[in-house]
Chain A
Amino acid sequence: MSAIPLKKYRSIANRSLQNVLAYRTSYVIGFLANTVNLLAIYFLWQGIYSGRSEVGGYTWDQMKTYLLVTFLANSVLSWYSETSISGKILDGSVAIDLLKPLDFQSARFSETLGASLLEGGMSAVLLTIFASFLSGITLPHSPLVYALFLLSLLGAILVKFGVVYLAALLCFWSTGSMGIVWTRIAVTNLLSGALVPLAFFPDWLERLALWLPFQSIIHTPTMIFLQQTGTAESLKLIALQAFWGIALWFAGKAMWNWAVRQVTIHGG
């Protein structure tokens, strides 16, 4: 891709960022809701850890860090980004997008990135404040770990976008998106490690999860941040993210090409 067409997509990311700013109230409310959720999970785990020094190889301090990192990794891709693509397909406004000299997938990804940048940034700031009130959070000391962690967050966005995009395209064949969205969220949360660390799974399920793309979304960034992987291992995990990101991207492209040929765009 040459430099000039990229400008279009950068511009889209920019407008998407502005759009999120316009929604700041709803973002704050969403964030509060997530915080309540985080607190609930926090206290649940605190209960589980009472009287125990370790569960599944995680100490309570590590678990606290795990929860915060999970929270960050989950909040970089907002509810808005998760539902806007399926929304476009369901209400037929995808027709308007097709009238633009833009690649649909790249344009949606630019939108997602623009929104993620802002939402991820805000989450990071708020989490830092939150973390300063908790004792025992294990922060890595090496700048290299932070660099790897940031890379893995980017990888996580790419993979999560791939999953979201494929699921959204299913809406070409269905008339409601909620079922698809909730199923996708449930599967992603379970298999990515957002509910419990993959290490807690029975052996067969853990192995299955590691074979699937979902683990790139939460498992990889948390492993890197908790320094449970060395540099070489971290780079391998990031390469795996890249592989899944690209594979899902092309799967999305193929499915899109097939879908627009097959299906009528809803509405006049």
Chain B
Amino acid sequence: MSIIEARGLTKSFVQAVKEPGLKGALKHLIVPRNITKVAVHPLDLSIETGETVAYVGPNGAGKSTTIKMLSGILKPSGGSISVNGINPYKKRMENAAGIGAVFGQRTQLWWDIPIVESFSLLKDIYEIPDHVYRNNLEQFIELLGMNEFIHLSARKLSLGQRMRADLAAALLHNPPIVYLDEPTIGLDVSVKQKIREFIKKINQEQQTTVMLTTHDLGDIEDLCKRLIIIDHGMIIYDGSLSEVKSRFARSRVIFFQVGSPMPELFAELDQTPGIRLTLQNEQEFSVAFDRYEYTASDVVSRVMRHGEVIDFRMEDANIEQVIKAVYDGNLDLNLNQQAQ
């Protein structure tokens, strides 16, 4: 069995419907009207030991709700879950011992006592053996560069420092599974890099299963081999990152800088299906095309027929654009059916 497995997992919430204004509020007090909102439609999920999975979707898509159900703090409305072979909701404490979690918006560190004291409390809470604790602490301090702030209280830390400390706190007990909910939110590039490298290392060395929700596409490209996209409480894609790229990131863009304006070329390209021209000015423009229909050399030689090319550079569509398209609802990502 997979380390994380969910079958037909659903969650719905009851929401109060209030009409606007005082009248509506009073009316609700007397005759409350509620609607049931489905946050997560029945979904199936299986994640194997050692996988790194990006779980992405727009705000309110049901990401956090799923993670909360998997981590045992929210009771599912239906379906079954097994994490490390146990039902996380029924055996919350047992499940908690085998997982680590970072919720980027919250901290598990004590606000007013030194970070290292929070850590040693975790040692007792998770009953971490002395040598494991010492090794991990030493290694984490070095990898995450925590030496300068380990003796400060969480209150005094910058966001980047706090996030590093929180990440260390979540992994001190060598959990087989770690849920990271936006672990790089609001961080600068160098801290992001540190955190990603740390996660990668832990995953490789300890076969830690990582489930990551993020809006940062750099995190995904850097860390995850598998991508799950959820929208409106439904999984709309579950597969490898490279597959989604080759399937949906078909567009390729070449930016040109040319010696003189090329009106004929512009007219010609405008007529060509599958090619989109974007003019920056008379001598700088970009050409977007489907890389399965045209080759880059086709496009470049076409342009060169019309005059001198001073410079050009090429960009492949990245996962960012794909996910953006999905968020915007422009792309029907029914990949499972297409693949079958």
Contacts and interface: CB of A to CB of B under 8 A. Distances in A.
Interface in B96-124: 96-97, 99, 101, 103, 105-108, 110-113, 117-118, 120-121, 124
Contact of B124 (A7, A93, A103, A267): A7
Majority SS at the chain A contact face? helix
* Count class of interface residues, chain B: 20 to 34
B276 interface: no
30 contacts: A4-B127, A7-B127, A8-B125, A11-B120, A12-B125, A15-B117, A15-B118, A18-B113, A18-B117, A19-B113, A22-B113, A92-B106, A93-B106, A95-B73, A96-B106, A96-B107, A98-B92, A98-B96, A99-B99, A99-B108, A100-B108, A100-B125, A101-B97, A101-B125, A102-B93, A102-B96, A102-B125, A260-B75, A267-B105, A268-B64
Contacts of B105: 267-268
Interface in A78-93: 92-93
* Count class of interface residues, chain A: 20 to 34
Interface of A: 4, 7-8, 10-12, 14-15, 18-19, 22-23, 92-93, 95-96, 98-103, 260-261, 264-265, 267-268
B103 A265 contact: no
B176 interface: no
Contacts of B13: 264
A10 B125 CA distance: 10
A14 B94 CA distance: 24
Contact of A99 (B71, B110, B121, B127): B71
A4 B129 CA distance: 12
A96 B92 contact: no
Closest 8 CB pairs of A and B: A11-B124, A22-B112, A98-B73, A101-B97, A101-B96, A101-B93, A18-B113, A96-B108
Interface string B63-91: 01000100111110000000000000000
Interface string B211-225: 000000000000000
Interface string B134-170: 0000000000000000000100000000000000000
Contact of A19 (B110, B124, B125, B126): B110
Majority SS at the chain B contact face? mixed
A261 B75 contact: yes
Nearest to B104: A268
B130 to A, nearest CB: 13
Contact of A95 (B68, B112, B118): B68
B221 to A, nearest CB: 24
Contacts of A93: 106
B112 A99 contact: no
Contacts of B75: 260-261
B256 to A, nearest CB: 44
A96 B73 CA distance: 9
A83 to B, nearest CB: 14
A95 B103 CA distance: 10
B72 A98 contact: yes
B56 to A, nearest CB: 15
B58 to A, nearest CB: 13
Nearest to B107: A96
Contacts of A102: 93, 96, 125
A14 B96 CA distance: 22
A102 B173 CA distance: 15
Contact of B96 (A92, A100, A267): A100
B122 to A, nearest CB: 9
